Amino acid sequence: MKFRGVLFDLDDTVVYSEESRFRATNNVLEHYSIKVSKIEWKQQFRSLSSLKMFDILKEKYNLDYDSKEMYKQAHTRRLEIEEQEGVKLVEGVLELFHFLEKKEIPFMICTGGTTDHGKKVLKQHNLDYIEIIGREYYNERKPAPDAFLEGLKRLGLRGDEVLVFEDSYTGIQSGITAGCQVIGVNTNEEEDVDSLDIFAKIKTFDDLDYSIFK
């Protein structure tokens, strides 16, 4: 199999940026004496939009906040954390980007976040030249295939010609539904990702066998 294009998720696939979203969420919830646990985050909220998450928490705890305002506050706090502390690249991804560029294999990022946020994160590593498809450019969030279908459209390729790298169960389902082969980048060592029957599973890109591109 020869892949003619590659699509990447962003958070915890290319960069370790999910932790900042988790911390920012709990920062703004402190006013209501609520804290989301790590287990809750991984099992229920990590794959949801922040707006949907705040809607769920509002109903669960009978709170009187405006979910959109809470999202704005949390997003602002997330940007502050990422600017102050920086965001690390997932191990080996920079080398993969350079390899793909050398081989002239087109690639882009399909994220559930905004394009602007993705650009800010990548700019820390001088990677903001990489094309990003944020949630402004498609309708349904993952596990719907919309994000990756938009990526296929921009690449001008069929799903069976494109390899997807994703870290989450819902993201992997999105890639599969878009007709792509998927490699699970299990940076969070989640059992649901390990249980999937997909093209390959790696912990980070240091584990990637580059012969799949030959």
Q: How far apart are CA 192 and CA 46, in angstroms?
A: 13
User: Is the same domain home to 201 and 99?
Assistant: yes
- Kindly indicate the confidence band of residue 1, based on its pLDDT and cuts at 50, 70 and 90: low
Q: How far apart are CA 85 and CA 105, in angstroms?
A: 32
User: Is the same domain home to 172 and 190?
Assistant: yes
What total number of domains does the chain contain?
A: 2
- Kindly indicate the confidence band of residue 48, based on its pLDDT and cuts at 50, 70 and 90: confident
Query: Looking at this protein, which amino acid is placed at residue 53?
Result: M
Which CATH number characterizes residue 195's domain? 3.40.50.1000
**Cβ(163)–Cβ(6) below 8 Å:** yes
User: Is the same domain home to 146 and 96?
Assistant: yes
User: Is the same domain home to 107 and 60?
Assistant: no
Q: Quick count: other Cβ atoms within 10 Å of Cβ 210?
A: 11
The structure tokens listed for 212 are 């799949």
User: Is the same domain home to 12 and 23?
Assistant: no
If you average pLDDT over residues 77-90, what whole number do you get?
96
The model's pLDDT over 102-148, given as tens digits with 9 standing for 90+, comes to: 999 999 999 999 999 999 999 999 999 999 999 999 999 999 999 99
User: Is the same domain home to 192 and 96?
Assistant: yes
If you average pLDDT over residues 57-75, what whole number do you get?
95
**Cβ(8)–Cβ(14) below 8 Å:** yes
- Structural domain span for residue 193: 5-16+87-213
- Residue ending a domain, among 85, 103, 127, is 85
Its pTM stands at 0.92
Least confident of 41-45, 75-79, 90-94: 41-45
Whole-Å CA distances, 54 to 1, 48, 201:
43, 10, 32
Average pLDDT, the chain: 94
Share of the chain above pLDDT 70, in %: 100
The model's pLDDT over 165-205, given as tens digits with 9 standing for 90+, comes to: 999 999 999 999 999 999 999 888 877 888 888 999 999 99
Name the burial class of residue 121, with classes exposed (0-12), middle (13-18) and buried (19+) by CB atoms within 10 angstroms of its CB.
buried
The structure tokens listed for 127 are 């990677």
| Per-residue pLDDT at 214 exceeds 90 | no
User: Is the same domain home to 149 and 94?
Assistant: yes
Q: What is the pLDDT of residue 211?
A: 92
| SS3 call for 126 | coil
Q: How far apart are CA 169 and CA 107, in angstroms?
A: 21
Q: What is the pLDDT of residue 189?
A: 80
The model's pLDDT over 87-102, given as tens digits with 9 standing for 90+, comes to: 999 999 999 999 999 9
User: Is the same domain home to 106 and 182?
Assistant: yes
Question: Per-residue b/e over 5-33, b at no fewer than 16 CB within 10 Å?
Answer: bbbbbbbbbbbbbbbbbbebbbebbeeee
Cis peptide leading into residue 143 (ω within 30°): yes
- Residue ending a domain, among 40, 69, 85, is 85
Q: How far apart are CA 199 and CA 111, in angstroms?
A: 21
Whole-Å CA distances, 156 to 51, 107, 140, 160:
32, 11, 21, 12
